Amino acid sequence: MLLSFGLTVTTLTLGGQWALHQSIFRVQHVTLLGARHESPARVLAASGLTRHPTMLGLSAGSIKENLTSFPWIVGVSLEKRWPNTVVVTVHETLPVAVAFNAKHVLQYVNAAGRDLGVAPLHSNYPTLTYLHPRNASWPYDRAGRSAALVAGELLLKAKAFNTQVSVISVDAAGEVTLQMTTPVEFFLGPATDLTAKFVAIASVIAHTTLRPGDVVDVRVPDELAVTGPAPS
pLDDT at 18 over 70: no
Residue 134 has a pLDDT of 79
Q: What pLDDT is recorded for position 164?
A: 97
Per-residue confidence (pLDDT) for residue 167, from 0 to 100: 98
pLDDT at 191: 97
pLDDT of residue 3: 41
- What does the pLDDT look like over 63-116, one tens digit per residue? 999 999 999 999 999 999 999 999 999 999 999 999 999 999 999 999 999 999
pTM of the model: 0.83
Q: Please check the confidence at residue 232 and state whether its pLDDT lies above 90.
A: no
pLDDT over 70 at 5, yes or no: no
pLDDT for residue 9 = 39
Q: CA-CA distances (angstroms) from residue 49 to 57, 61, 71, 106? A: 12, 13, 20, 33
Domains of the chain in sequence order: 26-92 (3.10.20.310), 97-227 (3.40.50)
Q: What is the pLDDT of residues 161-176, one digit of tens each?
A: 999 999 999 999 999 9
**Residues 6+ away with beta carbon under 8 Å from 62:** 48
pLDDT number for residue 230: 58
Among 197, 206, 193, which residue's Cα sits nearest to residue 224? 197
Supply the pLDDT for residue 22: 55
- pLDDT surpasses 90 at 33: yes
The angle, 0 to 180 degrees and rounded to 10, between the axes of the packed helices 194-207 and 145-157 is 60
- Summarize pLDDT for 203-223 with one digit per residue, the tens: 999 999 999 999 999 999 999
* pLDDT tens-place string over residues 124-168: 999 999 998 877 799 999 999 999 999 999 999 999 999 999 999
